[in-house]
């Protein structure tokens, strides 16, 4: 009881408390800096290298213009490229060449999107139609530059089935291991336009696998990579894989 009162009284005298806290923090920081000055310099160097690597995109676009153009997109894909609805995909950190390919796929047949477009969606198709090639490049580079958002957790009951398929595929059904292209942790391969999947909403992933299987999504083009794989998966496989992908970090 006394302790509680003491804490409460201290909390009301805010300024002196903050000052003491700041002084202690400064002391600790100064000490740490003296001890680790060399390490800090090394770390700072590494940081610059990391920033440089992220700044280079395979697509020739301008992230700043992309940010300005992204205002209408954020209504569905979120302010930082992480959407609130599980059927609207996250775009943060997605590889720019893949984003370009998808926006062009949505634009592929303006006159008859439902019948012929490589990819079609009542919400997304009209959005893509309004974009020029320059807009597409700028938006792609902008979304690629954003940090991948907080990850959701995979359903523990589905992990083992999802993980087995992800890592080894299913040789009986002729399903290739997803990890072979999308990487063990689902980071994808920007140069090959294999998308980042880690942390993507499971409901969105399941919808895409079903769309490929039904031939509704044909953005994999002549290779038919994802259509061939998806039509060999059953609904249990799709549910388990979608949940597993959502939990990948």
Cα 197 to Cα 94, 100, 149: the distances in Å are 8, 16, 12
Pick from 57, 82, 137, 193 the residue near ligand HEC by CB under 6 A.
193
Cα 223 to Cα 20, 141, 166, 220, 228: the distances in Å are 65, 25, 20, 6, 9
Q: Scanning residues 136 to 155, which ones bind ligand HEC (CB under 6 A)?
A: 139
Pick from 89, 113, 190, 247 the residue near ligand HEC by CB under 6 A.
89
The 4-33 site mask, x for binding ligand HEC (CB under 6 A), equals ------------------------------
Contact 119, 113 (CB under 8 A): no
Stretch of 16-24, 44-52, 145-153, 225-233 contacting ligand HEC, by CB under 6 A: 225-233
The 91-110 site mask, x for binding ligand HEC (CB under 6 A), equals x-------x-xxx-------
State the minimum distance, in angstroms, from the CB of residue 227 to ligand HEC.
Answer: 9
Cα gap 202→205, rounded to integer Å: 5
199: left (phi over 0), alpha (psi -120 to 50) or beta: left
202 touching ligand HEC, by CB under 6 A: no
State the minimum distance, in angstroms, from the CB of residue 56 to ligand HEC.
Answer: 20
Decide: helix, strand or coil at residue 186. Answer: coil
């Amino acid at each position: 009881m006394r302790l509680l009162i003491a804490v409460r009284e201290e909390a009301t005298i805010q300024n002196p408390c903050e000052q003491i806290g700041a002084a202690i923090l400064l002391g600790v920081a100064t000490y740490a800096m003296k001890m680790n000055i060399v390490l800090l310099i090394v770390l700072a160097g590494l940081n610059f290298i990391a920033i440089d690597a992220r700044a280079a995109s395979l697509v020739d676009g301008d992230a700043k213009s992309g940010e300005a153009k992204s205002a209408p997109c954020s209504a569905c894909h979120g302010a930082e490229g992480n959407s609130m609805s599980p059927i609207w995909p996250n775009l943060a950190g997605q590889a720019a060449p893949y984003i370009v390919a998808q926006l062009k796929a949505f634009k592929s047949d303006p006159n008859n999107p439902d019948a012929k477009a490589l990819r079609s969606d009542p919400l997304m198709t009209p959005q893509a139609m309004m974009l020029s090639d320059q807009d597409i490049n700028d938006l792609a580079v902008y979304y690629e530059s954003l940090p991948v958002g907080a990850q959701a957790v995979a359903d523990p009951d589905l992990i083992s089935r999802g993980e087995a398929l992800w890592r080894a595929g299913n040789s009986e059904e002729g399903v290739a291991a997803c990890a072979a292209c999308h990487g063990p942790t689902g980071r994808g391969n920007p140069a090959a336009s294999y998308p980042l999947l880690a942390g993507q909403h499971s409901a969105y992933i399941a919808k895409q696998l079903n769309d490929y299987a039904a031939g509704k999504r044909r953005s994999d083009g002549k290779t038919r990579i994802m259509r061939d794989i998806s039509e060999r998966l059953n609904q249990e496989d799709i549910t388990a894989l979608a949940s597993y992908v959502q939990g990948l970090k």
